[in-house]
Amino acid sequence: MKILIVGSGGREHALAWKIVKSPMVKKIFCAPGNPGIAEVAECVDIEAENVEGLYNFALKQKIDLTVVGPEDALTAGIVDRFRDGQLRIFGPSKRASIIEGSKVFAKTLMRKYGIPTADFKTFDDLKQAKKHLSSCEFPLVIKADGLAKGKGVFVCKTLEDANKHIDDIMNEKIFGQAGDKIVVEEFLSGEEVSILAVTDGKTIVPLSSAQDHKAVYDGDKGPNTGGMGAYSPVPLITDELQYYIEENILVPIVHAMKKENRPYKGVIYAGLMITSAGPKVLEFNARFGDPETQVLLMRMKSDLVPLLLSTVNDNLEDVDIEWHDCISICVVMTSKGYPDKYEKGLPISGLETLKGIDNVQVFHAGTSTKNGKVVTSGGRVLGVTTVGKDLRDAQKNVYEAIQKLSFDGVHYRRDIGSKAVYQKK
């Protein structure tokens, strides 16, 4: 088979790294890819949102299956275009990917179908939104409706804070049209967990659990990012809790989308807060998580390709996933200043020293090549991912590996995985 992966981040590197191991695969392309992905796939210079360009490439190359990484490509309608042209593609349609593309849609749907989530109100008018704040308790959470690269959510401790964020989103338009509407929602406390599942619209196959670390600094301090690191599995997610999540969140959301005439196929990613009153949905994403995919795929024993193909071919009921009995941790190394402004083009050293080590993978995210050398080109630069027999072992492996890598101003969290130590099974 020939496979095309769409995207250029750590998630796509992990997908390429896993897919290349499949005996079913003869050749992998990645558009646009990055220097790490170029070691296992042929990178083609087509941007992920260039739907027509990608379709023409896939047609010409006779691609058997296209796997979409980023949300922008999904909401731009890449899946619809490929399906219309009879090309096999893994991911939800444009109508279905609205589950991630609009928080107002997702929250309203959850309320309609009784899926547990924080209480909320939605607004398309700045004055009304501010008026509502005066009767609210703090902290509360303000969310831009549309896509904002994981940066459109603000936990506000005070009224001033909340007013400022509403101004930024609705008046200053820091996220453009994504801020035409907002959600104002109840603050939830607890542990965050990501539960991803694959579905063909009839059968749901949950993946193992993972925990992301969204805040930029240790101890969950500082602004939210796309994700600073992850580990899998999460000890907090017992079999009972996993069953509860499947019955009360995953099955209902897939049914709800079908009822709303937005049949869902692909990965459904539930970002959950495990509160004292049980799991509640913070958000749904329409794709593989980043960096959750890095840790999940390091632990996946089964071939990924049959899982992807069965989703596209509507026969997921025949698929079972096996996992390695280990813990995986991914620590993201970022550019100084991320998630705000940062410099690009800084040389990265040490990559060669970590090649060929079984339990360590350095997944590239924001990297590019300059004069034959790998340099930084994004906020999240590398996702150093390891496995270990237990959490301590995986943590030791990951932080030892990180010591071998460097670039000017590098930042990473020192506490990825530490929360799991205190969770009881």
Residue 285 near which of ligand AMP, ligand GLY, none (CB within 5-8 Å, type-dependent): ligand GLY
Say what angle helices 10-19 and 292-299 make with each other, to 10 degrees. 20
Q: Does 419 bind ligand AMP (CB under 6 A)?
A: no
Q: Which of residues 256-275 bind ligand AMP (CB under 6 A)?
A: 271
User: Of 54, 141, 307, 348, which one interacts with ligand AMP (CB under 6 A)?
Assistant: 141
Number of residues that bind ligand AMP (CB under 6 A): 15
The bridge status of strand 120-123 relative to strand 153-156 is unpaired
Residue 192 near which of ligand AMP, ligand GLY, none (CB within 5-8 Å, type-dependent): ligand AMP
Beta bridge partners, 222, equal none
- The separation between the first and the last C-alpha atoms of the chain, rounded to the nearest angstrom, is 42
- Evaluate whether 213 touches 274 at the Cβ level (below 8 Å): no
CB of 295 to ligand GLY, least distance (A): 11
Q: Does 100 bind ligand AMP (CB under 6 A)?
A: no
- Evaluate whether 341 touches 409 at the Cβ level (below 8 Å): no
Nearer to ligand GLY, 179 or 289 (CB): 289
SS3 28: strand
Q: What's the distance, CA 136 to chain centroid?
A: 31
Residue numbers at the binding site for ligand GLY (CB under 6 A): 150, 212, 227, 285, 289-290, 292
d(CA 204, CA 394): 30
Distances (CA, A) of 201 to 205, 256, 269, 322, 350: 11, 11, 14, 22, 44
Tokens 């796939």 map to which residue?
Answer: 41
CB of 13 to ligand AMP, least distance (A): 23
Q: Amino acid letter at 346?
A: L
Q: By rule CB under 6 A, what string of x and - marks binding of each residue 22-41 to ligand AMP? A: --------------------
CB of 360 to ligand GLY, least distance (A): 21
Residue 118 near which of ligand AMP, ligand GLY, none (CB within 5-8 Å, type-dependent): ligand AMP
Q: Which residues of this chain interact with ligand AMP, rule CB under 6 A?
A: 118, 141, 143, 153, 155, 185-188, 192, 214, 224, 271, 282-283
